[in-house]
């Protein structure tokens, strides 16, 4: 599992004085950095080197988050397919799970314009971060892509 701390920005709070949903989407994207590095270690964005495209995201807003205290973003792998994989995300504030999310990402060649199988070596790297059961709640992982 990959863990980062993010500090809410003044404008991340919206008119209801809680964190707006856009901030969460951004925080989960930052949380994906170390997973992106498994594919492109220097995070070079050229079509020659970048190999991932986002195809689906989901977000569950479980509790309100507020400006004024850091948020911990936890990210892990919940599914590894042939050409795609799923990342699970959690946001914790004040020691409580405040939001959960998922991102389905396809291994993609931007020059050829098509998906590619994930190599064995990267698959092994992803497997090290695979979480089958939610270690915090004991819940069965919500790792199935919603159809």
Determine, following the binding rule CB under 8 A, whether residue 4 of this chain makes contact with a copy of itself.
yes
Q: How far apart are CA 31 and CA 90, in angstroms?
A: 10
Determine, following the binding rule CB under 8 A, whether residue 2 of this chain makes contact with a copy of itself.
no
Determine, following the binding rule CB under 8 A, whether residue 133 of this chain makes contact with a copy of itself.
no
Mask of contacts with a copy of itself, 69-108, x by CB under 8 A?
Answer: ----------------------------------------
Nearer to a copy of itself, 77 or 105 (CB): 105
CB of 17 to a copy of itself, least distance (A): 5
Q: How many residues does the chain have?
A: 147
Q: Are 126 and 102 in contact (CB under 8 A)?
A: no
Q: Which of 72, 81, 110, 123 binds a copy of itself (CB under 8 A)?
A: 110
Q: Which of 3, 48, 54, 136 binds a copy of itself (CB under 8 A)?
A: 54
Total residues at interface with a copy of itself (CB under 8 A): 42
Binding site for a copy of itself (CB under 8 A): 4, 7, 9-11, 13-17, 20-22, 25-26, 29-30, 32-33, 36, 42-47, 50, 53-61, 67-68, 110, 142, 146-147
């Amino acid at each position: 599992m990959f863990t980062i701390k993010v500090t809410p920005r003044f404008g991340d709070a919206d008119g209801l004085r809680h964190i707006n949903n856009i901030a969460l989407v951004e925080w989960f994207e930052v949380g994906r950095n170390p997973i992106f590095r498994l594919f492109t270690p220097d995070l070079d964005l050229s079509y020659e080197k970048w190999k991932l495209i986002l195809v689906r995201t989901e977000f569950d807003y479980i509790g309100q988050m507020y400006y004024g205290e850091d948020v911990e973003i936890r990210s892990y792998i919940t599914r590894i397919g042939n050409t795609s994989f799923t990342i699970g995300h959690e946001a914790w504030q004040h020691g409580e799970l405040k939001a959960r999310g998922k991102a389905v990402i396809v291994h993609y060649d931007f020059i050829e314009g098509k998906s590619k199988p994930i190599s064995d070596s990267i698959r092994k790297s992803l497997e090290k971060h695979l979480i089958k059961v939610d270690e915090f709640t004991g819940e069965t992982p919500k790792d199935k892509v919603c159809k």
